[in-house]
Amino acid sequence: MVTINDIDTAVRTYPETNMALEIVEVDFPGTDLNTTDTATFRVTNTGPLVVTGVTLRVQGQNGATVANNGAAAPFVSEFVTQELPAVGAHNGSETTVGSPLKFKPPGRAQNARNLVKVTLEDWRTDFQHLFDSHTGPVTAVETTYNDDVLAS
């Protein structure tokens, strides 16, 4: 039997078991990484719950700096994004709002190293999708009536 503690554990571990972060669409001219490159960050949700209130912590690493979207956003060591739109259940995916987030590599040449780290800062969910979309016909739950029929 499922207990409230089981539900609590399932919700707490939901991001590790049902969500993924990706750095996608890294766009830089030519074949070499330059100092004015941009990237978009995507959140994917493979589980059965709609996720809302998602914010991401974006950190520059190994000398790289990062900037939120918008032309006036300064390059800093780290920042937290604004909330993303709701991420739908069962392979829903959302990218960051507005123009791409940016990163600036260090001003010196270096071998391949991690430049940007993105983590899940905040998120919320509820069970509404389960209650609305995971209910419906169930043919395995059935009954029949059996009786003799006599001629009148």
Whole-number Å distance between alpha carbons of 89 and 93: 9
Q: Please state the domain count of the chain.
A: 1
Q: Is residue 102 part of a domain?
A: yes
Residue 75 lies inside a defined structural domain of this protein: yes
Confirm whether pTM is higher than 0.85: no
At position 53, the amino acid (one-letter code) is G
Tell me what pLDDT residue 123 has.
93
Query: Residue 103: inside a domain, yes or no?
Result: yes
Domain that holds residue 108: 4-125
107-116 tens-digit pLDDT: 888 888 899 9
- What are the pLDDT tens digits along the chain (152 aa)? 889 899 899 889 999 999 988 888 787 777 777 777 777 778 788 888 899 999 999 999 999 999 998 889 999 999 999 998 889 998 888 888 878 888 888 888 888 889 999 999 999 998 888 888 878 888 888 888 998 899 98
* CATH assignment at residue 86: 2.60.40.10
For 8, 28, 29, 64, 149, the CA distances from 79, given in Å and listed in that order, are 29, 22, 25, 13, 77
44 in any annotated domain: yes
pLDDT score for 114: 93
In a domain, 56, yes or no: yes
What pLDDT was estimated at residue 22?
85
16 inside domain: yes
* Residue owning tokens 């999708």: 129
Q: Report if residue 136 sits inside a domain.
A: no
Q: In terms of C-beta density within 10 A (0-12 exposed, 13-18 middle, 19 or more buried), how is residue 7 classed?
A: exposed
